[in-house]
Amino acid sequence: MKKTLLSLVVPFYNEEESVEQFFLRVRLALEAIESVDYEIVCVNDGSKDDTLLKLIEAARHDSKIHIIDLSRNFGKEAALTAGLNEALGDIVIPFDADLQDPPEVIADLVMKWQEGYDVVVAKRVDRASDTFLKRFSAAAFYRLHNKLSDVKIPENVGDFRLITREVVEAIKLMPESRRFMKGLFAWVGYRTATVTYARESRVAGKTKFSAWKLWNFALEGLTSFGTLPLRVWFYLGLAVALLSLVYAGYLVARTMLLGIVVPGYASIITAVLFLGGVQLIGIGIIGEYVGRIYVESKQRPVYLIRRRYRAMEKEDEI
């Protein structure tokens, strides 16, 4: 019988130090799964170091490695989208090159999929390898996102998951260029199971996500799948207006009973600054949504491919 084809989709950005260890460990994990054949779709997301050269060298000795070289750095979400579009597998697993997600867990995902699930997510139950700040910010993001968003994403679940070809095709139907993949994975639904694991430390190099990038990534998630932030400011404005009416009634009553009292400047300045701040924040949130509309209206491609390196194909030969 023909084996199921598993596509491992891996974005790479300045990961030259981890390429060799990555393939060594991943090959062992995939070859141990007897029920599947596999391909490794490597997406070079505009790396500035020797990542691409090392990927090409690895592919010279392994026909299962396919390389997609993007024209520049488009970001992890775009690179992951490119990998999903290029993957040929019956089942597809997005995976990180830093090996913080153990490749040995892939076998557990496949076993759970064989029980009849369309999506099998890998949930981190031990994040001791992450810093306290990262653990705290991640927990806060998941709680805030799931309260504000129409689409709930499972807590402590990243991109590492197994999805069937049917799910991949559903994701490919989504046309947006500003992509929050965790949200897209959750939006499509399908029958979902969970496998737990302990997150490990990076094998080499350092994370590419600074605090500023993580903040912008979180903001992307919050505005991608709901308009509740806009509604919040409507209710806040309504509350401030009602309080103003109550305060105006108090001033009228006090004037009628006690006469005119010379007002102080502190209360006026406080009120002006408070209302000004509320208005500016509200305008900023509206601007975030308008900006998303502006970007989507241009209909630019999510990514551009400079070249494909796929073994045994003359036009893209290595």
Residue 70: which CATH number?
3.90.550.10
Return the amino acid letter for 236: L
Question: What are the CA-CA distances from residue 110 to residues 145, 186, 191, 197 (Å)?
Answer: 29, 19, 14, 14
Q: How far apart are CA 250 and CA 254, in angstroms?
A: 6
Q: CA-CA distance, 145 to 218, in Å (whole number)?
A: 8
89 near 5, Cβ under 8 Å? Answer: yes
Cα 286 to its chain centre, rounded Å, is 22
Residue 105 belongs to some domain of the structure: yes
pLDDT of residue 287: 73
- For residue 313, the model assigns a pLDDT of 47
What whole-number distance in Å separates Cα of residue 105 and Cα of residue 118? 17
Specify the DSSP class assigned to residue 302: S
Determine the Cα–Cα distance for residues 53 and 63; give it in Å rounded to an integer: 16
In a domain, 116, yes or no: yes
Question: Which residue's entry shows tokens 């208005």?
Answer: 279
Residues 15 and 78 in one domain: yes
169 and 277 fall within a common domain: no
Is there a single domain that holds both residue 276 and residue 159?
Answer: no
Q: Which residue has the higher pLDDT, 293 or 223?
A: 293
Residue 44 pLDDT = 92
Residue 229: Cβ within 10 Å count: 17
Confidence label for 298 from pLDDT (cuts 50, 70 and 90): confident
Give buried/exposed letters for 48-78 (b at 16+ CB in 10 A, else e).
eeebbebbbebbeeeeebbbbbbeebbbbbb
310 and 177 together in one domain: yes
Separation of alpha carbons 100 and 201, rounded Å? 5
Average pLDDT over residues 303-318: 68
In whole angstroms, what is the distance from residue 77 CA to residue 75 CA?
6
Same domain, yes or no: 182 and 116: yes
Q: Are residues 258 and 191 in the same domain?
A: no
Please spell the DSSP secondary structure of 197-209, one letter per residue. EE----SSS--S-
If asked whether residues 23 and 112 sit together in one domain, one would say yes
Cα-to-chain-centroid distance, residue 25 = 25
- Count other C-beta atoms under 10 Å from residue 295's C-beta: 13
Whether residue 222 lies inside any domain: the answer is no
Are residues 163 and 312 both part of a single domain? Answer: yes
Mean pLDDT of all residues in the chain? Answer: 77
Same domain, 305 and 294: no
Q: Who wins on pLDDT, 266 or 247?
A: 247
Query: What whole-number distance in Å separates Cα of residue 152 and Cα of residue 135?
Result: 19
Is residue 217 a part of any domain in this protein?
no
pLDDT of residue 46: 85
Report how far residue 268's alpha carbon sits from residue 276's, in angstroms, rounded to the nearest whole number: 12
pLDDT in tens, 118-172: 989 888 876 665 666 666 666 666 676 666 666 677 777 778 889 899 999 988 8
Q: State how many domains the chain has.
A: 2
Q: 35 in a domain, yes or no?
A: yes
Q: Which of 291, 270, 305 is nearest to 223 (CA)?
A: 291
Same domain, yes or no, for 22 and 41? yes
Contact in structure between 153 and 183 (CB atoms under 8 Å)? yes
Structure tokens at 44: 């070079």
Domain that holds residue 124: 4-208+301-316
Q: Are residues 173 and 34 in the same domain?
A: yes
Least confident of 45-54, 126-135, 177-186, 206-215: 206-215
Report yes or no: 93 and 162 within 8 Å, Cβ to Cβ.
yes
C-alpha 159/C-alpha 156 separation (Å) is 10
Question: Residue 194: inside a domain, yes or no?
Answer: yes
Please report whether residue 215 resides in a domain: no
> 276 and 305 share a domain?
no
- Structure tokens given for 175: 């046309």
CB contact set of 119 (below 8 Å; sequence gap of 6+) = 161, 162, 163, 164, 167, 185, 190, 191, 192, 193
For the chain, the residue count is 318
Q: Residue 44's beta-bridge partner residues?
A: 12, 69
- The DSSP code for 164 is E
| Whole-number Å distance between alpha carbons of 50 and 15 | 8
Residue 223 resides in a domain: no
Token pair recorded at residue 286: 């509206």
Residues 266-287, mean pLDDT to the nearest whole number: 68
